[in-house]
Structure formats: structure tokens, C-alpha cells
Amino acid sequence: MARTILAVSLGATTLLTAHGRAQEAFIEGFADPPREFSVMPFWFWNDRLTEEEILRQIGDFEEHGVFGFVIHPRIGLPEDMGWLSPPMIDMMRVAIEEAQRRGMYVILYDEGMYPSGSSAGQVVERNPRHAARGLFKVDLEPGETPAVPEGWELIVVLDRPGGERLAVFERPSGGVIRGVHYIGEGTDEVREFSPPAGDILSPAAVDSFIELVYDRFHEEFGEHFGETILGIFTDEPSMLGRGPAGGTVPGNAEALEQVSDILGYDFTPHLADLWYEDNPDSRARRADYHRAIGECLEENYYRRLSEWCEAHDIALTGHPAGSMDLGAERYFHMPGQDLVWRYVTPGEKALSGGHSTMAKCASSAMIHLQRRRNSNELYGAYGHELTYDEMVWLAHWCLVRGQNLLYPHAFYYSVRGPRRDERPPDVGPNAEWWKEYRPYADAMRRLCWLNTDSEHVCSIAILGRSNYLPDGAARVCLENQRDFNYLELRHLWEDARVDGEGVHLAGMVYQAVILDSLGRVPQAALPALRALAEAGRLIVRGMESPVGGGRVVDDGSLVEAIDALVPRDVTLDPPAAGVRYRHVVRDGRHVYLLFNEVQEPVTVSIEVAVEGAWEWLDPATGEATPADAERPVAFDGWEMKVLSVGP
């Protein structure tokens, strides 16, 4: 109220001047955003390191518009440079101090090499009982008493239908991580050093991991925390490690008690459902367990790392193991995801399957948790056949879904010998496009800036579980330019407000809430769902309504149901199913990221719900040019356009 009164008293001339200054600040900010919005590639330290070469490569990064990097000790380091050994710490210090001198940024990586939680096997070396463990079943003959092998613990013996029985044990999983050294390099039988994975469900093992890695980072580099060093990256933690014994399920006896507390019933009598479908609700029980054990991991691992980082004035960044792991994102100060192994490519995989949800997973978490950034580690293991155009397409796929920090995977310190083919490609200095990299780097910096410190204009939420996000309703929304965020069910009873207008959370108001294919819904969510149904705000697809209300739809009627609740923000004429959009407000400007996600060109008339002067913003050059709102817009295949609408 005070701001409004002050503005009126100052008069129209002052208001116009304020608008002009805001416009000038916006254009200047877009033309040359701060360096913190740069792409921050994984920098594979994968060969013998020298100070001279580290300094040279950092200078090369800067010349090409890359103003930050993730120091990633990688397979290929010599055996005399062990994980966090004094020589490695010395080289890290060289890179950090050079970044500080140049006004660049660094992310530290918490493992040697991945998945995180082992400190390159040092956790298990300290205490063999801290090796990753899991649940394992042994089928029993009638009357057989189960033997308990050394290192195993018997949890329960259960009867099954037809007189069959099984014993459930806790046992070492046998899982490992990828290490930082080749064994036998230069021979025909080169292989990887594979240290044992740590038990990240064990609070004591996680304490050891934090002491070995996080405390060490603070001891060595704490003076740079929150300034040159923006965060610590934890990478796809795995409860079992890589290559566990067949049939092993994540969990242990201690975590089983947590699972029962989370579910509200003793899961022990239902353990057989983890391997068999003896009962009509076996699949539902199994889904219950995996959701709950994921929440155990949140408490025992992610929360502890998050609290440590917060106490030391640094961000926890990285990503969980699963593309749909929305629940774990709440512990990241920069929620993140991982776009690898051609999980997403132009076409069907961009819209369907669990991996198609990952970008919205991280960006939605950023909004609802009131974080500033969210990230994606992208391009890993896309293969040497990855093209420049595909590289740009993948970045735009993330950005139009709200991501604003890109970790290209990877820039290789060395491509000598087997290094060139280790999770390729090099998308930086050893790529054929490196000489022309600057426009790409500048464009990504500008687009990340637009997606940061801005208000997302969105009134549609699709509900999800902590470890599952539906893609069916999401696809319909994307193909019909109805933008949405994923909303984890837990928010409905933890921190959201539900009333006749919809769901209020973190400044967002979701007037249309979609319940899509979630199966069993927790009891705690039912009061909020019932209130939404009574207000006419609940849309149900792919399942029965758990509250006996809400508008039940199929794909053909979903858009109609949304439009009855939410005014259209963007309208294309003729309809174009391949065009995605994101609407944000920054510095008083309404900005629309418009991405033709398909390869076929399209020409459309665009109508937006806000009034004002149109300008096209060029991410590659930073230039703004006036646009005619009445003129049809032609998109080339895979083209991103940025529309600004202002006073």
C-alpha cells in the first residue's frame, strides 16, 4: 500500500522515469548477465595434472565465455594422486585461486568418482560394517531352519501361500562405485578401480563420509565458501552401490523401522511382497516400500548433507539417482537432475516416460522450496555422435521447462588413450565446435539469467509422489501450451494452503490441480483433495478419485477442464503441438520462452494474455528488436525465440 501511495504522489513523470530505468536495467542485464549464470561444465581431471596446464585450460574456458566449472576427479588420474590426497588438494587449490583471480566460480564434487557416499572407499576402509547393505531373500524348504552366513543378519521368516516359506536377511550388497584410477592402462586388459560403496542409509556411515569429505573441504577451502566456491555437488547416491548382488533390495533392519513409521503400519509381515506377488495388493505394498525407503534416504543422507552445507554457508547441489525423485530435491539448495545416456532425445522421449519429467521435477522444486537456482547435468554418455544442434536442443529442452543452471558433461582435461571414450563426448575444448562455442555460452548465460530471480506465471499443478511423477497429463499440457509445475503431495498437508481458489504455495496459486495415475494416495492428502474437489478445482485422470469428487477426464477432455478453471496464457493459431513455452516476469517485463521442440518448421500467430509493447530478444547476441504483435511468427525446426512484453 505504501509503495502505491508514494508512486501516486510522485506523479506520472516519475512513474514513466521508473519504467524507463527498469527497462534499461532489464536490457542491460539481458545483454551481459553476471558470470554466475554461466554454464559450469564438469571438468574431468582424468590424467596427470600440472599447474601450468590447469591455468592454461581455465584461461581457455574464460576466453570462450565459460566462467565456472565443477572440479571432477575422474578415472584416469595416476595412482600417486589418490582421492583428496595432498597432491590432489594442491591442484584443487591452484584451480580455486585462479578462478578467484579471474572472477570465475567453482563447484566442488564430493566423490572419487561416483555414486557419492563412499569417499573413494575410505568410509568402508575405516569400518567394514559401513559397506552398503540391503535386504535379500532365501527360499526355504518345508521345515528348513535358515542358516545365517557371516556378515548377514536374519530379519524374519515368513510363510507364503501354498505352504512355501522364505527368510529375509540384511546383508552386504557387494555394490561398488567407479574409482579414479585405471588398472592395467596400456595393456589389452585395462579395467577400472572400483572401491566399495558406503551404506548411505546408516547415519554412522554418513557421519564418516561427511568427516572425510565435507569437513576436509571446509578445512582446506572454507575461506572461499559462498564466494568463489558456490556449492558442493553430490552425485546420484545409491543405497546399494553399482553392481549389487542379484535380488538385493535397498534397506536394512534399522531402516525397516523407519519405513514402518513412515507408512503407519508394520511392513515386516509384508516383506515377501518385495519379491513376490502373492496378494492382490502386493504391487501397492511394494510401491509403498520403495517410496518409504526413499524417504529414509532423504533423512539419513540428504538432510544431513543439506544441514552441513547450510551451517557452512555453501549450497548443496547435484542430483538424486532418479529422474522422478522429487522428494529428495527438498534437501538441495540447488535442486538438480541428470540428463544422460540419451534419456531424452527429440521426439517421443522428450514427452513420454519417467525421464521426460526430470526438468520440471527440478524447476518445480526450486519454486516450491523457494530456492534460487535449479540445475541439470546434461550430455553425459550421449556418444561421439552428439551434434552441436542436438547439444543446443537439449539445453533448450531444459530451459523452457524452467531450469537455470547447466552443468555440461563434460570438458576433458585429457583425451589420451581410453579417456576419449569414457562416457563421451567432450563437449568443450576437444569438440569440433569449440572455436564457435562463445555464442552458445553467451546464449545459455542469458537464458539462465531470465529464468532466475523471476516470477513464474503458472496456475496449473500436476500432483506427484516423492518418487513418481506422471507424464500423461504433462504431455497433454505441454502439447497444448498449458504450462504447469509438479506439486509433491506432501505439500498438501505440510505447508500449502488450500481454499476455494486452489492451492497456495510459495507465492503460486494453482487454480487447476491434476491428480493423474498416482494409485494409492496417502491419507494425509485426502482433506486437501476433498476441499479441492468441493471447490471444483480438482481434475482426475487415469485413476478413480480417492475422495469421490473432482472432474474425471481423459486426454480429449483434459484441456477443456483446465480452460474452465484457468484463462489461457498463450494461444497459437493454428495449434502447434510441438511448441513449448514458459512465461516469467522479470524487472516488470513479461518474458516468454517459445521453443519449437520438433524438427518441422511452423508458422503461427501468437496471442498472449498481457498487453504491452513486443520485443524479440536474441539470446546469442543480447540484442532486442521491436516486434509486430499482429504478424505471424515463423519458427525453424528446433528454434528457440524469446518474446518480451513490457510497458
Model pLDDT for residues 259-292, shown as the tens digit of each residue: 999 999 999 999 999 999 999 999 999 999 999 9
Q: Which domains does the chain have, with CATH numbers?
A: 38-119+197-240+290-450 (3.20.20.80), 457-567 (3.40.50), 571-646 (2.60.40.1180)
Dihedral of the alpha carbons of 291, 295, 296, 298, in degrees to the nearest 10: 140
- What is the spatial distance between Cα 565 and Cα 520, in angstroms, rounded to a whole number? 26
Q: How far is CA 271 from the centre of its chain?
A: 31
Determine the pLDDT at residue 163: 85
410 upstream amide cis, omega within 30 of 0: yes
pLDDT-derived band of residue 425, with 50, 70 and 90 as boundaries? very high
| pLDDT higher than threshold 50 for residue 581 | yes
User: In sequence order, what are the residues at sequence separation of 6 or more whose Cβ sits closer than 8 angstroms to the Cβ of residue 500?
Assistant: 535, 537
pLDDT mean over 449-459: 97
Apex CA 467: angle with CA 463 and CA 471, to 5°?
50
Prediction pTM value: 0.94
**Contact status, residue 252 vs residue 199, Cβ threshold 8 Å:** yes
pLDDT mean over 489-503: 97
Determine the pLDDT at residue 114: 96
- What is the spatial distance between Cα 396 and Cα 393, in angstroms, rounded to a whole number? 5
Determine the pLDDT at residue 4: 29
**Contact status, residue 379 vs residue 408, Cβ threshold 8 Å:** yes
Mean pLDDT for the chain?
Answer: 94
User: In sequence order, what are the residues at sequence separation of 6 or more whose Cβ sits closer than 8 angstroms to the Cβ of residue 429?
Assistant: 57, 60, 61, 411, 412
Q: Quick count: other Cβ atoms within 10 Å of Cβ 60?
A: 14
- Tens-place pLDDT, residues 29-62: 999 999 999 999 999 999 999 999 999 999 999 9
Strands (E), 517-618: 538-541, 551-553, 570-573, 579-586, 589-596, 602-608, 613-617
Determine the pLDDT at residue 20: 63
| pLDDT higher than threshold 50 for residue 467 | yes
pLDDT mean over 171-200: 93
| pLDDT higher than threshold 80 for residue 17 | no
Over pLDDT 90: what percentage of the chain?
92
Determine the pLDDT at residue 6: 30
Greater confidence, 20 or 64?
64
